[in-house]
Structure 1
Amino acid sequence: MPHSMSRRTVLFAGFAVPLLSACARMPFGPRHPQLLVQVSAPFAMPAIAIPDFSASPRFPITDFGADQNDQRKTSDAIAAAIMAASAAGSGIVVVPPGTWPTAKIHLKSNVNLHLAKGATLLFSEKPADYLPAVLSSWEGLECYNYSPLVYAFECDNVAITGEGRLKAKLDVWREWYQRPQPHMEALVALYKLAAIEAPVSERQMTAGAANLRPQFIQFNRCRHVLVEDISIEDSPFWVLHPLLSRDVVIRRVKISAHGHNNDGVDPEMTQNVLIEDCVFDQGDDAISVKSGRDRDAWRLGVPSKNIVMRNCRIKNGHQLIAIGSELSAGVENVLVDNCHFDASGSATASTITNLLYVKTNERRGGYVRNIYMSDVIATRIAGGVLCVETDVLYQWKNLVPTYERRLTPIEGLHVRNIAVGEAAFVCRVKAEREMPVKTVKLENIAVRAVRETPIMTENVVGFVNAN
């Protein structure tokens, strides 16, 4: 019986079977001008193709009726400008100086949302402004949830640029940070739906007091993504979330967000990523590499890989980089290089725990391999340079049972040229006896003051301390 592949299916095919990459481009229409970004790494790192909008026409939102005193007019104007730019085949939607109140923004292929210097997009605090629900995910589980504040779905050649600012009003989201009992019950329900592989269309998470906060910016199943020069302030949830995307460059971005779960960038089931020259001032991890949770991720089968973070400054956050705990499709080929902590000017006291933190548990499966960190400087951290834990379940330990036990093989953690003023420890690796961590190398690690036992390892094969 003849059948046709949906656009979503074709895009997944591009991930799963490299030989079909040409087919994966078929749904995206005429080729948009692109630039290639070459990235040096200790693994085979492909060149990253990003969109080039230098010759594209401009579509100021004021030409479409944007009004600084009227959120609806501004929201409608932004949507109309995006539609016009997309219809033109390529375009730059320009937000001029001033504060522009808006509800959700949905991007389209071949569109660059450009915030001029002095421009602020001020996003509504009302959850109703982010309905109807869209296909998204929440902590690694697919669902239909409130739209991210800026959402791009199945877009090719999409960008957010300029020296302006995106700011979220937190009035309601701040209340949702508390995670009340109805919210936890909704999470349990979502977890169970995923465990029995209920269709994603049945996982509707905007009813009642589920209170699943949306991401600030999500690129969902996109290719050729550029985020450049913007500032982002405050966020309901994760700040920048490339999900099931390929070829992503995030550069010279400044993020200040100190709410609950306010990671800076969360590449999830995403490949070929460069994060460079950014400043992170976070309420959670600066970078958290993820690849989905449990059965959902096993079904999708798209690892996160080929991710480079370099030349970044971290004012605050929990970890410089975390791997997991949602890593069920696997994480490989990650490099953090030449990143430094500088707490000057941060709005809150330092909460830095670890530089490199790999976390998983008996439910995740997946794998972690080929993780590199080099040339990092920090002052005082609460944890250590490298920490690996394989029993991290947080509130889930008692909320839901282990439906299927799958351990996570971890192999190839390479850390060198690190200078820290004070830390609790240098390296702590706690693995399962039946699944030891393999090949851990520390080289030229200098910590002036260590408060606890410097190095502790449990169930590690191939540990090298070359200091």
Structure 2
Amino acid sequence: MMRFIILLLIVVSSRQCFAGKEPGLPLKKIKVAAPFKMPDIVVPDFSNTARISITEFGAIKGDQQKTTKAIAAAIAKASEMGGATVIIPDGEWLTGKIHFKSNVNLHLSKDAVLLFSENPEDYLPAVPTTWEGMECYNYSPLIYAYQCRNVAITGEGTIKAQMRIWKQWFSRPSGHMQSIKRLYNLAWERSAVAARQMVNDTAHLRPQFIQFNRCENVSIEGINIINSPFWTIHPYLCKNVWIRKVNVYAHGHNNDGIDPEMSQQVLIEDCIFDQGDDAIAIKSGRNPEGWRLKTPSKNIVIRNCFVKNGHQLVAIGSELSGGIENVFVTNCEVQDGAKLMHLLFIKTNERMGGYVKNIYFDRVRSGKIDQGILGIETDVLYQWRTLVPTYERRLTPIQNIYLTDVKASEVKFISRILGQKELPIKNIVLKNVSAQKITDTQQIHENLVQFSSNP
């Protein structure tokens, strides 16, 4: 009896030691320096995982149907294995949508090109996604992950969107405008996301190129991206995101480079941006969506990035209803001759609510800028000004914005800060922020308290 009890205790003890510690995909922690408490970023380590090629599952160059099915089968197998790397070999591979599963690394060989179909029908059925800060069912992003853990896109290859059809959708005719008005009102009514079906003959809500939706431990490293129907890389409601050495070229409408939205613990480093819109735009939901989900974008570090073209180096908003805090931009450069409006642009309106605080901008260099180094505006509504009324007025508190060691060759202004009388912007600090030539007024300020500038 005593021997049986001892053996039982040994078995129970071993089970307790093993519980929660089954062998799985290794994770690594990245420590990131910041002027706020920055948690380590946890990302998957695929360095010792099995490597499986899409050709093993029937991929054939030039055959979109077989290649799309092969990629899906390889991803399913890699996930089933508990973690593996799916190889896209050298050459051009025509494909439809790619949907991730957990514990998968999609790796593009150096001379590999994934060329995505331009046929919108290839991105159906509709999936839970977003449009400009509002959740809905829409065309699938070209590369999509939903509620996944431990996912990566790596390699030195290229992903490319064919643009003929998407370009036709850049315009905003009446059908499109009425559809986004309908979506806005559905979001305002807090309707179920499944009721917000946005695929019809005239909505033409273009999909993101890459969207990681409600994912944890995400890594994108080394790849080249050419063209995008809409926002290029969109981590949405994600935790632990590492984007490194990515080269983005996308000059279409709304072609932001990276849009972290309601995401936390994000590191963007050593990337190159050549954009038709903002290089990096930090967002957190539009109006009721941000209030409902209550997830601020937080703990975001952007470092060692280079911008060739774009509207802003970093934009904050205008979708920021969930709040944005703890952002650190450091050691970034804008190419001389780039078409850029601001280095840092914070934009909101009377409908957004949310908040912006603790934004740090350090050691940034730029050539000529069309507008200025820092812009803050609180009445940015774009098409929404006349499309829908203000159902509820919520102002955005903006405070604690710090710029240090920022230089440009020519600007209209150093800072233009336009707060609201009811809620002034607070505590803006510029230290060693300058331009060789100022063509308009150095500072243009309205409804601002606690401003300091030290040359």
Q: TM-score, normalised by structure 2?
A: 0.95
Rg larger in 1 or in 2?
2
Say if 2:267 is the partner of 1:274. Answer: yes
How much has 1:29 moved relative to structure 2?
8.9
**Which secondary structure does the structure 2 equivalent of 1:376 belong to?**
strand
Does the Cα contact within 8 Å between 2:338 and 2:367 map onto a contact in 1?
no
- The CA distance in 1 between the partners of 2:232 and 2:398, in whole Å, is 27
1:314 maps to a residue whose letter is: V
Displacement of 1:350 after TM fit? 3.3
Q: What amino acid is aligned across from residue 109 of structure 1 in structure 2? A: S
| Secondary structure of residue in 1 paired with 2:404 | strand
Tell me the matched-pair count.
437
Q: Take 1:437 and 1:69, find their aligned partners in 2: how far apart are those partners?
A: 56
**Alpha-carbon distance between aligned partners in 2 of 1:199 and 1:170, rounded to the nearest angstrom:** 32
Residue of structure 2 in register with 1:191 after alignment: 184
Aligned residue in 2 for 1:147:
140
Residue 244 of structure 2 aligns with which residue?
Answer: 251
Does the alignment pair 1:352 with 2:349? Answer: no
Give the equivalent residue in structure 2 for 1:437. 425
| Structure-2 residue corresponding to 1:316 | 309
In 2, Cα distance between equivalents of 1:372 and 1:87: 42
1:449 maps to 2:421: no
Deviation at 1:32, TM superposition (A): 2.4
1:223: how far off? 0.2
Distance 1:68 1:157 in 2: 28
- Check if 1:327 corresponds to 2:356: no
| Worse-matched range after superposition: 97-106 or 453-462 | 453-462
CA deviations over 1:6-35 (Å, ceiling 9, x no partner): xxxxxxxxxxxxxxxxxxxx9999642011
Q: Which aligned pairs between 1:102-141 and structure 2 lie closer than 5 A?
A: 102-141=95-134
Per the TM alignment, residue 131 of structure 1 is displaced from its structure 2 partner at its CA by 0.2
Structure 1, unmatched stretches of 5+, are 1-25, 344-348
Alpha-carbon displacement from aligned partner over 1:167-221 (angstroms, at most 9, x marks no partner): 0000100000112211111000000111111111100001121000000000000
Cα distance in 2, alignment partners of residues 216 and 27 from structure 1: 35
Match in the other structure for 1:346? none
**Which amino acid is the alignment partner of residue 28 of structure 2?**
L
Q: Which residue of 1 aligns with 2:360?
A: 372
Moved over 4 A (4+): 26-31
Amino acid paired to 1:437: I
Q: In the alignment, what sits opposite 2:78?
A: 85
- Is contact 1:28-1:156 (8 Å) kept? no
Q: Secondary structure at the match of 1:237?
A: coil
* CA distance in structure 2 between the aligned counterparts of 1:204 and 1:28, rounded to whole angstroms: 41
Q: In the superposition, relative to structure 1, how do residues 237 and 405 fare at CA in structure 2: closer, same or farther (>3 Å)?
A: same
Q: In the aligned structure 2, how far is the partner of 1:130 from the partner of 1:183?
A: 18
- Whether contact under 8 Å (2:346, 2:375) holds in the other structure is yes
SS in 1 for 2:168: helix
Whole-angstrom distance in 1 between the partners of 2:266 and 2:62: 38
- The equivalent residue for 2:449 is 461
Asked if the contact 2:24/2:83 (under 8 Å) is kept, the reply is no
Q: What's the CA shift for 1:351?
A: 2.2
Matched, 1:98 2:91: yes
Q: Deviations over 1:243-298 (max 9, x none)?
A: 00000000000000000000000000000000000000000000000000100110
- What is the DSSP-based 3-state SS (H/G/I as helix, E as strand, rest coil) of the residue aligned with 2:295? coil
| Counterparts of 1:394 and 1:30, CA distance in 2 | 51
Per-residue displacement from partner, 1:349-370 (whole Å, max 9, x unpaired)?
A: 7320000000000000000000
Query: Which of 425, 441, 444 is residue 413 of structure 2 equivalent to?
Result: 425
1:298-336: per-residue Cα shift (whole Å, max 9, x none)?
010000000000000000000000000000000000011
Q: How does 1:26-37 map to 2 (within 5 A)?
A: 31-37=24-30
Question: CA shift at 1:36, angstroms?
Answer: 0.6
Aligned to 1:401: 389
Q: C-alpha deviations, 1:75-133, integer Å up to 9, x for none?
A: 00000000110111101000000000000000110000000000000000000000000
Q: Secondary structure at the match of 1:250?
A: strand
1:45 paired to 2:38 = yes
* Partner residue, 1:235: 228
Secondary structure, aligned partner of 1:321? strand
The letter of the residue matching 1:110 is N
Q: Which amino acid aligns with 1:385?
A: I
Take 2:285 and 2:259, find their aligned partners in 1: how far apart are those partners?
11
**Rounded Cα–Cα distance in structure 2 between residues aligned with 1:413 and 1:370:** 6
* 3-state SS of paired residue (1:194): helix
**Aligned residue identity for 1:119:** A
Judged with a 3 Å threshold, the aligned counterparts in structure 2 of structure 1 residues 439 and 99 are, in CA distance, closer, same or farther, namely same
Change beyond 3 A, Cα 1:124–1:432: same
TM-superposed deviation, 1:456: 1.3
d(CA) in 1 for partners of 2:223 and 2:129?
Answer: 23
Show the counterpart of 1:413: 401
Q: 2:411 & 2:24 partners in 1: Cα distance?
A: 50
Counterpart for residue 217 of structure 1: 210
The answer to whether the 8 A contact 2:418-2:447 is kept is yes
CA RMSD of aligned residues (A): 1.3
Structure 1 letter corresponding to 2:350: E
- Counterpart in 1 of 2:6? none
Q: Which amino acid aligns with 2:233?
A: L
Secondary structure of 2:182's aligned partner: helix
Residue identity in the other structure for 2:425 = V
Distance 1:30 1:304, change over 3 A: farther
Indicate which of 335, 342, 346 corresponds to 2:335: 342
**Which whole-Å CA distance do the structure 1 matches of 2:343 and 2:419 have between them?**
19
Q: 1:302 aligns with which of 267, 282, 295?
A: 295
Query: Cα–Cα, structure 1 residues 451 and 27, in superposed 2: closer, same or farther, change >3 Å?
Result: farther
Instruction: Tell whether the 8 Å contact from 1:310 to 1:339 is kept in structure 2 after alignment.
Output: yes
d(CA) in 2 for partners of 1:350, 1:308: 23
Contact 2:150 2:218 in 1 (8 A): yes
Report the equivalent of 1:156. Answer: 149
The amino acid of 2:437's aligned partner reads A
Q: How many Å apart are 1:461 and its aligned residue?
A: 1.1
CA distance in structure 2 between the partners assigned to 1:132 and 1:384 by the alignment: 44
Structure 2: 5+ residue runs without aligned partners?
1-18
* Whole-angstrom distance in 1 between the partners of 2:134 and 2:122: 23
